[in-house]
């Protein structure tokens, strides 16, 4: 691993990236500082240029390089020049998490760890378990005591050490960090620096796939805030590498049923407060107190972004409309379409703009959402088939 720095954008402190440092002493998250490397002139966004790792430190399952697809129906409906879907369900474990997991595994290997871990019940648990298996590292996955079998089994299949833990979730999270340090387990939880650094590749690919023309808006479903921070950092790195000529604006998309960042943004606050009684079908982004929330607020304001919420029925409608265009995303990953619609209605996004929606994960990750749709099919006998198909 090359020499690199982790920087706190909030207080300015720097840390050596060749140490297991996961958060600034001030309490805010850390960002990998791109050192300006080589290759910019060749219009390349290879990981060798933007990450401090040696090629042998990476373990890849083929993450990234996901499709970016223009959807004319959405552009026409919204009066926009182009609406594109970045389909992250095409990743190895069907969500964007694989990008951050791959970067964290490279970091863990570079630092000599043999065990990795995470606290999660959803996309991240499956991702860390899969990469642990691929890297030949033991993966310790901690999940909440009330997690049901339907969610345990798709993680267990990768063969991790899977522990279902009774007790308060916030305490479990803190315990994981304490025990990780004590027992030498690299916990790649929500917004650790290299998970965020991995998310930068979403920005790199969007730029590349658009011929290095930056969209006006990038719409990101936001939970902990790490993915949005990573995408912002990625566009910053592209700009400082001279590969692009401007920054896009960012729409932080949340479900109204759990929208602590939207609440603080609307109130003009600099710090988020815990969201009371969160509940939403967009389960994957139901985080009542996002650890990167303060940082996201600052970045949104810096680049003229906005934070908006979507109602439950708007999310279900967006999921249906995405599917009717061929994209089956989990409810959380359909929140961007719902929020972009609201942003157009409120006049926050100008007519004729271009927008990219980040579809973070597959609809098959949350089949409970089928109940929200009145899905129909017909039964018939073989001899009636010709008549029914006519
Ligand atoms: Zn700091």
Q: pLDDT tens, 49-71?
A: 899 999 999 999 999 999 999 99
- What pTM was computed for the model? 0.97
Share of the chain above pLDDT 90, in %: 89
- CA–centroid distance, 28 to ligand 1, in Å, is 5
- CA–centroid distance, 13 to ligand 1, in Å, is 5
In Å, what is the CA distance from 305 to each residue of 32, 82, 87, 95, 141? 22, 19, 22, 24, 35
Q: Record the tokens describing residue 155, joined without a space.
A: 């993680």
In the block, tokens 């706190």 appear at 8
In Å, what is the CA distance from 176 to each residue of 21, 100, 187, 269, 365? 15, 19, 7, 30, 25
pLDDT greater than 80 at residue 339: yes
DSSP state of 247: P
Selection from 161, 189, 162 nearest residue 175 by Cα: 189
- Neighbour tally for 85: CB within 10 Å: 25
- CA–centroid distance, 182 to ligand 1, in Å, is 23
What is the arithmetic mean of pLDDT over 299-303?
97
Domains of the chain by range and CATH?
Answer: 68-92+193-372 (3.40.50.1100), 95-187 (3.40.50.1100)
pLDDT greater than 80 at residue 41: no
- Contacts of 105 by beta carbon, 8 Å cutoff, 6+ apart: 58, 59, 116, 131, 132, 135, 137, 188
Q: pLDDT tens, 141-185?
A: 999 888 888 889 999 999 999 999 998 877 888 899 899 999 999
What is the arithmetic mean of pLDDT over 233-246?
95
In Å, what is the CA distance from 52 to each residue of 5, 29, 58, 172, 194? 10, 19, 11, 31, 11
Selection from 149, 189, 198, 195 nearest residue 169 by Cα: 189
- CA–centroid distance, 40 to ligand 1, in Å, is 30
- CA–centroid distance, 255 to ligand 1, in Å, is 29
Residues 304 and 249 sit within 8 Å (Cβ to Cβ): yes
Three-class SS state of 307: strand
- CA–centroid distance, 21 to ligand 1, in Å, is 12
**Torsion over CA of 54, 57, 60 and 63, rounded to 10 degrees?**
-60
């Amino acid at each position: 691993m090359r020499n690199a720095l982790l920087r706190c954008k909030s207080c300015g402190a720097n840390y050596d990236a060749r140490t297991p440092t996961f958060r600034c002493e001030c309490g805010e998250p850390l960002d990998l500082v791109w050192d300006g490397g080589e290759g910019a002139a060749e219009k390349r966004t290879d990981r060798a240029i933007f990450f401090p790792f040696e090629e042998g430190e990476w373990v890849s399952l083929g993450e990234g390089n996901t499709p970016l697809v223009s959807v004319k129906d959405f552009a026409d409906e919204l009066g926009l020049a182009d609406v594109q879907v970045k389909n992250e369900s095409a990743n190895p474990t069907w969500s964007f998490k694989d990008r951050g997991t791959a970067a964290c595994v490279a970091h863990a290997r570079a630092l000599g760890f043999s065990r990795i871990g995470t606290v999660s019940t959803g996309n991240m648990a499956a991702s860390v378990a899969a990469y642990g298996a691929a890297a030949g590292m033991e993966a310790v996955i901690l999940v909440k005591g009330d997690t049901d079998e339907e969610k345990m089994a798709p993680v267990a299949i990768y063969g991790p050490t899977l522990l279902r833990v009774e007790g308060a979730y916030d305490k479990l999270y803190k315990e994981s960090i304490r025990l990780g340090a004590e027992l030498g387990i690299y916990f790649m939880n929500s917004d650790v620096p290299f998970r965020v650094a991995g998310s930068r590749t979403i920005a790199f690919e969007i730029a590349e796939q658009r011929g290095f023309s930056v969209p006006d808006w990038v719409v990101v479903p936001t939970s902990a805030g790490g993915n949005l921070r990573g995408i912002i950092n990625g566009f910053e790195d592209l700009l400082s590498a001279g590969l692009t000529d401007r920054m896009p604006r960012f729409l932080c998309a949340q479900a109204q049923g759990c929208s602590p960042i939207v609440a603080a943004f609307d109130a003009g606050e600099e710090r988020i407060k815990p969201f009371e009684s969160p509940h939403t079908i967009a389960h994957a982004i139901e985080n009542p107190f996002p650890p990167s929330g303060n940082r996201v607020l600052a970045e949104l304001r810096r680049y003229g972004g906005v934070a908006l919420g979507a109602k439950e029925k708007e999310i279900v409608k967006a999921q249906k409309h995405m599917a009717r265009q061929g994209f089956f995303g989990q409810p959380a990953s359909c929140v961007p379409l719902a929020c972009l619609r609201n942003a157009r209605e409120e006049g926050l996004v100008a007519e004729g703009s271009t927008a990219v929606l980040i579809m973070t994960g597959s609809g098959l990750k949350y089949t409970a959402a089928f109940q929200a749709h009145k899905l129909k099919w017909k039964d018939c006998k073989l001899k009636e088939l010709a008549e029914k198909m006519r």
